[in-house]
Structure 1
Amino acid sequence: MGGVTARSRSRDSGTRALRRAFGVLAATGICLASAPPALAAPALARPDGPDFGLAASSECVFGGDVIKSTPWSLQRILLDQLREQATGKGVTVAVIDTGVDASNVQLREAMASGGGDYVGSTKGTQDLEGHGTRVAGIIAARPLKGTGFVGLAPEAKILSFRYTGGENKQGNSRTMSSAIRAAVAKGAKIINISSDTANRQDNTELRNAVAAAVQSGALIVAAAGNDGADGKAAKTYPASYPGVLAVAASDRNDERAYFSQAGDFVDVAAPGVDMVSTVPKGGQCTADGTSFATPYVAGVAALLKEKHPNWTAAQLATRIEETAQRPGRGPNQFIGWGVVDPVAALSEDSTPSNSPKPDAPMAAGSGGVIPMAVTMGESEAERERRVAVYVLGIGLVLVLVAAGSGVALRDWRTKRVGQAGRAGQSG
């Protein structure tokens, strides 16, 4: 599949530096402790690291106003062309999170019955934190007059399982595992998990629950995590488990968002910065995080599932990966196979394999576009400009030396003539 494109990117290093400096105030996500047998409650803000809590900004008001403009994450898509392919109709996506507030008008008609609550008794339709409601909106928010925000799959259904975020009880890997098993029992074929375990801990119970879901044919789409500001590769869970589609966050330049966790387990990236979405009691807010890149990919998966209902989870994942926009022939540890391209994923109708393959090398003269090699050194054009500057500089120096020598020679001759004249007068 063609996944390589040539494009120019504006790189504002100053802006990115500021974002890194103040990033602890912006990135969002949730985590859970998972060390058996005594499982600690999840920390919405980790005590030993940056605050990647659920509140993206103090300006977010549950029940507030909607944002009128169309979010950049949707502007990058030809939505009319996408809607011609699929809308998610007939597809249900399980959201395992802090619950989904069904009172938001953009989600009211999107909710499917039969969800669960492992930290309360609301059947998954209450969200005290706002995280799950944001996730659900990115997947399936219905169109609403007065706002440009809408879900990627605006006719899909959301099956909410609240595994954490309770008023008197927080969840853990055990409640998450229970929610995964319940989603599979309800027949969910796409499961969104926008969480990772605290301190990147593996856990046998969670691993087994994920393996059973994968075996059942479900596609689990999981967040890579928000602890990547140091740029170091590390595995997170459940994103690193076999069969899971792990999602990193990308920025407006289609590059890894600075907080997004890097690692060989990363499969694909999606917009995860300044993400507009629904919040409890109505209205919308913005937030950052791999938590919100993940439902972007889950939404694309829902569209593909509607268009190709017989495709397996592996085939859905492969199509998303192979049609992603990436800078090389294969994947890397920062954005995986690249930044998801919803229109490209839906436009290709050939049946994918069960795993993605790198683009074949393209020889010169084959008639295709050959991507320009990326180097850390100077390009040929830069070298030519440098040589030209050197030649110009040397030429200017020679002119100045010649002019200065002429002036010095003239002054020397004038001085000699003057000395000779004075000597003649004294004789």
Structure 2
Amino acid sequence: MPRASLLRASLLRPTLTAAAAALLATAPLLAPPAAAADKLPYSDQCQFPNGLYPGRPWSLQRVLLDELWSRSKGAGVRVAVIDTGVDVKNPQLTAAVDAKSGRNLLPKGLKDEDGDPIERGKENGTTDTVGHGTKVAGIIAARPAAGTGFVGLAPEATIIPIQQNDAEGHGTTDTLAAAIRYAVQAKAGVINISQDTSNAMKPSDDLEKAIDEALAQKIVVVASAGNDGLDGNVKETYPASYDGVLAVAASDRNNERAAFSQSGDFVGVAAPGVDMISTVPSGGHCSDNGTSFSAPYVAGVAALLKARHPDWTARQIVAQIEQTAERTIAGHDRLVGWGVVDPVRALTEDDRPIESPDPQNGLSRAEAPTAAKFQTGETPDERNTRLATYVAVAAAVLVAGTSGTAVAIRDARRRARRVAGVD
């Protein structure tokens, strides 16, 4: 594959057309101020801005958040979101994003398919006309807000926005490698990459070298597995398939692989990726599907672990997430890897670091029934029953004896009176 091979976000929808991208780019100028999004009704149509999602999304309902956050909230951990940018006008992301550390790595002078110039966006990566990067960032570290049950899994982590792709797919393996190296420079503890190369061929060596440089700095690299898994399709995707990268598949509400989720031996774990609620540009939320939104779910768990165990290596954090995932079979499979991520278990069964998951440890097994003990004498229950029977019989005898005596006395008196001529 040539070094300039295109990258694609792991979305189920087709890439936006130039006209749609231009419309989204101008929408914030025509819409009410961002704060007004709080007053908009929530719409199932993904629009920018949108209303607040009123409840708690299913992907968060499966987690005991109070127990999780009693262990860690991700404070002090910096998570690089290498994506289409992160819009800080969404109130739940304003305090979560370190705009000063952001970077726009898209080339200058880009044009759309009609030859018109494409707005490059802010140099600090806080422009997102697609909405993809804003959703990814929200799943990781959105702050709590009134009026919605949606919140990031690591609500005290910090997002580093790195704009490296756009609606036209101008991201390349070169810009992705540059983004990874910039994330290292910006002191990221976790890197989230919700995109993959446009085909299954292994890209240039430089991208792999950039991944290795990040891993050498104990940075956890999380990447989406891809959405080409329909009909049992099995293939490797990059950068998810590189050694040391935690590749994330998508699971559904039943903890099974989502039909679209890419399968392969490289898959590390699965995470919710269906009907995923998250933040959108200018305010509010919308729902989306894809491994793009499974990866940040796991990146959020990695941030929680990183804050709780700052001395653990990237391999140890990945192994912890894999070991504590929910699974019903021993070992690894190509559909969901080591299982569906369990955030609470990852943060509570963490007494010591491990280097790799154990295929047997942590797997739930049925227990055989315990045989009853053989008694050679009278049991306490049997003795109590016997004594109770004795008491009942004695009481009955006493009552009968008393009644018999009273009858005898009465008859004797009647006979005496009859003899005396009284009757």
Shift of 1:349: 2.8
State the partner residue of 2:346. 345
Which string of whole-angstrom CA distances, capped at 9 and with x for unpartnered residues, describes residues 166-225 of structure 1? 78x822111111000000111212100000100123112212211221122211000000
Judged with a 3 Å threshold, the aligned counterparts in structure 2 of structure 1 residues 176 and 45 are, in CA distance, closer, same or farther, namely closer
Judged with a 3 Å threshold, the aligned counterparts in structure 2 of structure 1 residues 282 and 202 are, in CA distance, closer, same or farther, namely same
State the partner residue of 2:261. 260
Which string of whole-angstrom CA distances, capped at 9 and with x for unpartnered residues, describes residues 88-136 of structure 1? 1111101000000011000000011312101234311110100000000
The range that moved more, 260-269 or 204-213, is: 204-213
State the partner residue of 2:274. 273
Judged with a 3 Å threshold, the aligned counterparts in structure 2 of structure 1 residues 157 and 45 are, in CA distance, closer, same or farther, namely closer
Q: How far apart, in 1, do the equivalents of 2:184 and 2:79 lie?
A: 11
Judged with a 3 Å threshold, the aligned counterparts in structure 2 of structure 1 residues 125 and 267 are, in CA distance, closer, same or farther, namely same
- 1:362-377 matches, cutoff 5 A: 369-370=365-366
Shift of 1:145: 0.4
State the partner residue of 1:218. 219
Which string of whole-angstrom CA distances, capped at 9 and with x for unpartnered residues, describes residues 356-380 of structure 1? 1211599xxxxx84289xxxxxxxx
Which of 83, 100, 104 in structure 2 is aligned with 1:117?
104
Q: How far apart, in 2, do the equivalents of 1:264 and 1:246 lie?
A: 10
Q: How far apart, in 1, do the equivalents of 2:244 and 2:227 lie?
A: 21
What amino acid is the match of 2:45? E
CA contact (8 A) 1:45 1:51 kept: no
- 1:172-191 matches, cutoff 5 A: 172-191=172-191
> Mind listing any 5+ residue stretches in structure 1 that lack a counterpart?
1-34, 363-367, 373-427
Q: How far apart, in 1, do the equivalents of 2:308 and 2:45 lie?
A: 39
- 1:236-251 matches, cutoff 5 A: 236-251=237-252
CA contact (8 A) 1:100 1:127 kept: yes
Calculate the aligned-residue CA RMSD, in Å.
2.3
State the partner residue of 1:107. 93
After TM superposition, the score normalised by the length of structure 2 is 0.73
Which string of whole-angstrom CA distances, capped at 9 and with x for unpartnered residues, describes residues 8-35 of structure 1? xxxxxxxxxxxxxxxxxxxxxxxxxxx3
State the partner residue of 1:390. none
What amino acid is the match of 1:349? D
CA contact (8 A) 2:301 2:343 kept: yes
Q: How far apart, in 2, do the equivalents of 1:218 and 1:361 lie?
A: 26
State the partner residue of 1:36. 2
What amino acid is the match of 1:131? H
Give the aligned length: 327
Residues 1:208 and 2:220 are matched in the alignment: no
After TM superposition, the score normalised by the length of structure 1 is 0.73
State the partner residue of 2:35. none
State the partner residue of 1:388. none
Which of 64, 67, 88 in structure 1 is aligned with 2:74?
88
The range that moved more, 202-211 or 143-152, is: 202-211
> Mind listing any 5+ residue stretches in structure 2 that lack a counterpart?
21-42, 107-119, 369-423
CA contact (8 A) 1:52 1:226 kept: no
Q: How far apart, in 1, do the equivalents of 2:8 and 2:352 lie?
A: 42
Q: Which has the larger radius of gyration?
A: 2
Tell me, what secondary structure is at the counterpart of 1:179?
helix
Judged with a 3 Å threshold, the aligned counterparts in structure 2 of structure 1 residues 154 and 118 are, in CA distance, closer, same or farther, namely same
Judged with a 3 Å threshold, the aligned counterparts in structure 2 of structure 1 residues 361 and 371 are, in CA distance, closer, same or farther, namely farther
Tell me, what secondary structure is at the counterpart of 1:335?
coil
Q: How far apart, in 2, do the equivalents of 1:166 and 1:228 lie?
A: 23
Percent of aligned pairs sharing the same letter: 53
Which string of whole-angstrom CA distances, capped at 9 and with x for unpartnered residues, describes residues 58-84 of structure 1? 811111101101100000011111111
CA contact (8 A) 1:217 1:313 kept: yes
Q: How far apart, in 2, do the equivalents of 1:227 and 1:117 lie?
A: 28
CA contact (8 A) 1:99 1:127 kept: yes
CA contact (8 A) 2:264 2:335 kept: yes
Tell me, what secondary structure is at the counterpart of 2:91?
coil
Judged with a 3 Å threshold, the aligned counterparts in structure 2 of structure 1 residues 147 and 201 are, in CA distance, closer, same or farther, namely same
State the partner residue of 1:144. 145
What amino acid is the match of 2:105? Y
